[in-house]
Structure 1
Amino acid sequence: MIEQGRTRRFWRRVGVLVAAVATLAAGLGPLATDDAAALGSGATNGAAAADSGCSVAYTVGGEWPGGFTASVTVTNLGAPVDGWQLKWAWASGQQSTQAWNATITTTDGRATAKDVGYNSKVATNGTVSFGFNGTWTGSNPKPSEFELNGVVCGGGGGTGSDAMAAVAAMQPGWNLGNTLDSTGSDETSWGNPRITETLLDNVKAQGFKSIRIPVTWSAHVGPAPNHTIEAAYLNRVKEVVGWAMARGLYVMINLHHDSWQWIRDMPADRTGVLSRYNAIWTQLAEAFKSFGPKLTFESVNEPQFTGSSGQAQDVQLLHELNTSFRDIVRQSGGNNATRLLVLPTLHTSSDQALLDALATSIAGYNDKNLIATVHFYGYWPFSVNVAGGTHFDAVAQKDLTDSFDRVYNTFVARGIPVILGEYGLLGFDRHTGTIQQGEKLKFFEFLGHYARAKKITTMLWDNGQHLGRTSFQWSDPELFAQIKSSWTTRSGTASTDQVFNARSSAITAKTITLNLNGTSFVGLRHGTTELVRGTDYTVQGDQLTLTASALTRLSGARDYGTNAVLSARFSAGVPWRINIITYDAPVLSNATGTTSSFAIPTAFRGDLLATMEAKYDDGTNAGPHNWTSYKEFDRAFAPNYVSGVTTLTPEFFAEVRDGGRVTLTFHYWSGTKLTYYITKSGTTVTGTTA
């Protein structure tokens, strides 16, 4: 079902699984120069480079509730240094409170230890040691990676080989979608502005630790046999990668829409596709091999093949691509020898057979620096609001838990880290209103929780519809608040965020079910006013009842629409919004129009449209997706509450029989159902009320 729903237009929501970016490297701090130079030379802040590497022994000498003491010994395996800085990242927010033989500062979870003058010189194979007292909360894991003067260290207390720790440090991640991955000649081809350093500053400020930068190379690669990448475009990608890394972000780049533009032709043109693929990755490996370990590569986005003999051949072709990719990168030397590499399943699907196929490939490589990736856009009927999938119900939730359980059991439980390179809802392709707000929030709350439980790093797909690229404001702040909260805790929700009171009837008490999600109910507010328990509402177990007197007061003059917004607060997470709505049954009117422009005049009267059914008089289903009577929200029909119309789209009429009457049943969130009839004759459409 998910794959069926993913026949969406590629330019709307491109992307592939974001690979787990490089090891838990220390923050790069004030690096302001191009990362290829800064990380390649190992020079930071004027300290001499440790050109050939280093090793670090990090030992926790003692630990007590909230505190610990540690000692660090650095061995210089390269040329002599005169002046050193050792950097690392704290995975759980630890802090140094007192140090000896070094000066230690911590910023945004990244620590920097500097020499204190008398120990600034370290000969080749020489060592320098320092120690400190620190604080911790929750847990106190050792750093998984260190950098001496910008060069990643091996050996000792933590190395770049701990891919699992590195992927954990990448949580949470964000996709810079529909930009460098556009299939046009420029990163602005799909309507997003050029990437700026200010954008990356704002991405980091939102709390993201990693950024996936999808890149489509097709329009910027020359002909065979060399397939030379356009220098200006490659330099632009390097510039953006450098900007992100200079801000301490983990970064992933890939071959993105190339997957469906030309890589998919591999069954018929194996030699040509493989030659082009290998040429591109050979050039990319060389161009980025001196970039630090926070850069990772993903072999290909959402791999797919056309004209093969079936799934078995598809799996084999993907294995061939992944193998060639890994070999090219590893053999290019530099930091690529140990760089974390991300490998997708076929279609980045979590189907068990495809997970098993990738697991077999990874086992055969005997490479501890590999990461698996899949994508998740939810149970398809819910994800696009079709086939009656209006709620994040038990079926939609089980689809998520089954998917994440398969991924965990196949990879994470066996020590292979996983990145959910893209996640979201397919209905977001047009706007975030396709799925009802409360149901949408429950999906993201649960996804964040379950991903944490299964140790899966998540990367939000954003093609510009979430974080404004120039305003730096979230188009749906409530949604982002829920997503951000899910990174660390659970939030209470409820069976609904809408309480409807019919204007034509007396107001009565209303009860909704609380989803406590491990929290406890704290209270209910209207604005800054605390409602009174026992008078305005009661709570018995998970049942929250709003009294008739409180609803009457809150509804005021009972104008149609939302009269009041309540905030249910819990012991953790973000509050749950409850809208108090006055409505009467909507009124539909007769209409005429054409198959390209038809709208039903609708007096919504405070109610909100949930879904629409379409059937012929003989009981068979009408319109697109004729396996279900429930049509796809915003694709077949769409309400316009401002204009007071319900539109039926040309896509809907394209699959309606000529001359046959269609009965439409509109389902509203209040529970109201209305019947309407339409008849199509050529391009003319007539609509009448029941």
Structure 2
Amino acid sequence: MASADAGGTDALRVTARKGTPVKRPLWTCLTALAATAALTAGLAGPAYAGDRGAPKSAAKVVAAMQPGWNLGNTLDAVGADETAWGNPRVTKKLLSEVEKNGFRSVRIPVTLGQHEGPAPDYTIDPVVLDRVEEVVDWALDEDLYVLLDLHHDSWMWTNAMPTQHDEVLAQFTRTWEQLAQRFRDHPRTLLFESINEPQFAGSTGEAQEYALLDELNDTFHQVVRSSGGKNADRVLVLPTLHTDSGQARLDELVTTFTELADPNLAATFHYYGYWPFSVNVAGGTRFDATAQQDVTDAFARVHDTLVARGIPVILGEYGLLGFDRHTGTIEQGEKLKFFEYLGYQARTTGVTTMLWDNGQHLDRTAYTWRDPELFAQISSSWKKRSGTASTDQVFVRPGAVTEQTVTLNLNGTKFRDLSLGKHKLKQGKDYQLAGSTLTLPAALLQRLSGTGAYGTSAELVARFSQGVPWTIEIVNADTPVLADATGTTDAFAVPTQFRGDRLATMEARYLDGSNAGPHSWTSFKEFDVTFAPDQATGTILLRPAFFAEVTDGAPVVLTFHFWSGAVLQYTVVRSGTAVTGTVG
């Protein structure tokens, strides 16, 4: 629900549109009554849920938007219409479901250059503009704050500003003139974002890029403010260069804020994690101390540079870059730890978060979360910390069962219990706990391994004093077995008996020890881009992208690292488009 300033001591208790009792300041209630009377008399424009009273200050508007969700790859899709990138048409029910799932705001990216006419008017196709307004209105009707964002235009045409300055500035100005005019009477629960991930091609360097972004942000500000109506004090959101959280980027944005001297501004940045972990390359399989420090540092910089100066901040997009392909690029437990920690950092530094969802998270027809465990961790992180652990998978070798330890990450919580289904295990008998070290005895693991059939045999659940529980899979596994094969650079697969194990990463080196394949600065290749395990077919696929950067005729030794700790080697040789593979 849209929240209100707690202005004054006099307040009335009223019922919100969805029937939830809320406490609203007296001035808010009187404003709402006046608006209703004006509408009845035919003197007011359309009524929106947000017209009942948005906070007055930009900081409180941004705080009231927490948490937020992105309607990605839809109205921003490049193509014929909003379904061009595989998502269904937006429905009012979708936005209702977003609100029901606890979100208080939605970012609506739109790409408009492709729908504009020629210079000098750059007229936006009225059908497209009407559709954008329809979706915005649906979101407002659900009491959601809306952040309207000019999106892929950043790399489609505004990036040409270094070499086509006047043309780009003219189109950018006309685009925002049309948007400002269309939405000038919409409530202040609608915010505008100047441009997504600003970037510039063919510049003379970052100094010029900073100056060009400052010019775009300044133009955006002037156009919207001069359009009048509710745009006079609407909260406007300005990005850093590349929407990045680097210190130099943040400092330059502060300069723009200082020059504009407008209290109704907010800043935005994006965060997709420490890159090797975010895409699973260079051995970045775990949310380790380095990946965690990267999160800590990013939010510390944002807080100290912006929030501490009184500039409200929106994390306009966050997630993991590997999600662009599918959420399995990063191991489940490691990704859960990332989102738990990011939520904590955002909450404690005062940053509003907006989850990037291009259709891979919330199913837009079934209205269910594709990974319920992931969403449970994300939504819990909005309010509290959760306990995690060093791993969420314990591998047991049939016939050679030994005790294993798992380190609990209490994160300020207290360990409560460990259970198997509805059965609570007994500490000291079924398992031991010393500090944060959880020991799973051989006797327990032997019992849980059952028949010893490969794969998950049981799931233990650790519960803490708050937050979501942590699931530990007990997996029966033995050393995988590889086999010789032939194929082509377009389709080569290593026959693999996984035997319950799971592939974590792959290294590639020539016989002299130098690195082979893409990203030659590391021996560890990028998961799914260069290789991908396929449990269903019993293969490890080597992608064409891998062979595209492999020397013809030179043997490449692949080292496969499995989550159980097993390490296997395999040699491939490319001869033109033909590939042969041998064990060892």
Gaps of 5+ in 2: 36-46
Normalization by structure 2: what TM-score? 0.94
1:682 counterpart = 2:576: yes
Q: Distance in 2 between matches of 1:315 and 1:333?
A: 28
* Structure 1 residue 553: Cα displacement: 1.1
- Quick one: which of 223, 237, 255 aligns to 1:360? 255
- Quick one: which of 174, 180, 183 aligns to 1:285? 180
Corresponding residue for residue 104 of structure 1:
14
Corresponding residue for residue 227 of structure 1:
122
For residues 487-522 of structure 1, what are the alpha-carbon distances to aligned partners after superposition, in whole Å with 9 as ceiling and x for unaligned? Answer: 0000000000111111242x1211110000000000
Decide whether aligned partners of structure 1 residues 525 and 685 sit closer, same or farther in structure 2, where only a CA change above 3 A counts. same
Q: Distance in 1 between matches of 2:376 and 2:437?
A: 25
1:273 counterpart = 2:168: yes
1:596 counterpart = 2:508: no
1:468 counterpart = 2:363: yes
Q: Are the counterparts in 2 of residues 468 and 474 from structure 1 also a CA contact under 8 Å?
A: yes
SS in 1 for 2:327: coil
Runs of 4+ in 1 over 6 A off after TM superposition: 112-115, 120-123, 147-150
Corresponding residue for residue 376 of structure 1:
271
1:643 counterpart = 2:537: yes
Corresponding residue for residue 350 of structure 1:
245
Q: Distance in 2 between matches of 1:637 and 1:109?
A: 54
- Quick one: which of 134, 137, 153 aligns to 1:242? 137
* Structure 1 residue 534: Cα displacement: 1.0
For 2:8, the aligned partner's letter is T
Corresponding residue for residue 391 of structure 1:
286
Corresponding residue for residue 619 of structure 1:
513
For 1:445, the aligned partner's letter is E
* Structure 1 residue 113: Cα displacement: 8.3
Decide whether aligned partners of structure 1 residues 291 and 442 sit closer, same or farther in structure 2, where only a CA change above 3 A counts. same
Q: Are the counterparts in 2 of residues 490 and 518 from structure 1 also a CA contact under 8 Å?
A: yes
Q: Distance in 1 between matches of 2:48 and 2:523?
A: 64
* Structure 1 residue 104: Cα displacement: 2.5
For residues 415-445 of structure 1, what are the alpha-carbon distances to aligned partners after superposition, in whole Å with 9 as ceiling and x for unaligned? Answer: 0000000000000011000000000000000
Q: Are the counterparts in 2 of residues 104 and 112 from structure 1 also a CA contact under 8 Å?
A: yes
Output aligned runs, 1:48-447, within 5 Å: 58-60=7-9, 71-72=10-11, 104-105=14-15, 107-108=19-20, 110-111=22-23, 160-447=55-342
Q: Distance in 2 between matches of 1:678 and 1:57?
A: 68
Aligned length: 568
Q: Distance in 1 between matches of 2:212 and 2:475?
A: 55
| Bigger share in helix | 2
Corresponding residue for residue 629 of structure 1:
523
* Structure 1 residue 289: Cα displacement: 0.4
Q: Are the counterparts in 1 of residues 387 and 467 from structure 2 also a CA contact under 8 Å?
A: yes
Q: Distance in 2 between matches of 1:680 and 1:434?
A: 26
Q: Are the counterparts in 1 of residues 49 and 142 from structure 2 also a CA contact under 8 Å?
A: no
Greater CA radius of gyration, 1 or 2?
A: 1
1:533 counterpart = 2:482: no
SS in 1 for 2:8: strand
* Structure 1 residue 234: Cα displacement: 0.2
Corresponding residue for residue 467 of structure 2:
573
Decide whether aligned partners of structure 1 residues 109 and 413 sit closer, same or farther in structure 2, where only a CA change above 3 A counts. farther
Normalization by structure 1: what TM-score? 0.80
Decide whether aligned partners of structure 1 residues 686 and 150 sit closer, same or farther in structure 2, where only a CA change above 3 A counts. closer
For 2:384, the aligned partner's letter is T
Q: Distance in 2 between matches of 1:228 and 1:431?
A: 37
For 1:420, the aligned partner's letter is L
For residues 278-298 of structure 1, what are the alpha-carbon distances to aligned partners after superposition, in whole Å with 9 as ceiling and x for unaligned? Answer: 001001000000000100000
Over aligned residues, Cα RMSD in angstroms? 2.1
* Structure 1 residue 546: Cα displacement: 1.0
Decide whether aligned partners of structure 1 residues 57 and 626 sit closer, same or farther in structure 2, where only a CA change above 3 A counts. closer
Decide whether aligned partners of structure 1 residues 529 and 152 sit closer, same or farther in structure 2, where only a CA change above 3 A counts. closer
For residues 135-167 of structure 1, what are the alpha-carbon distances to aligned partners after superposition, in whole Å with 9 as ceiling and x for unaligned? Answer: xxxxxxxxxxxx9997577xxxxx844111111
Corresponding residue for residue 16 of structure 1:
none
For 1:562, the aligned partner's letter is T
* Structure 1 residue 24: Cα displacement: 5.9
Corresponding residue for residue 94 of structure 1:
none
- Quick one: which of 549, 553, 561 aligns to 1:667? 561
Q: Are the counterparts in 1 of residues 271 and 317 from structure 2 also a CA contact under 8 Å?
A: yes
SS in 1 for 2:98: helix
Q: Are the counterparts in 1 of residues 116 and 125 from structure 2 also a CA contact under 8 Å?
A: yes
Q: Distance in 1 between matches of 2:318 and 2:25?
A: 37
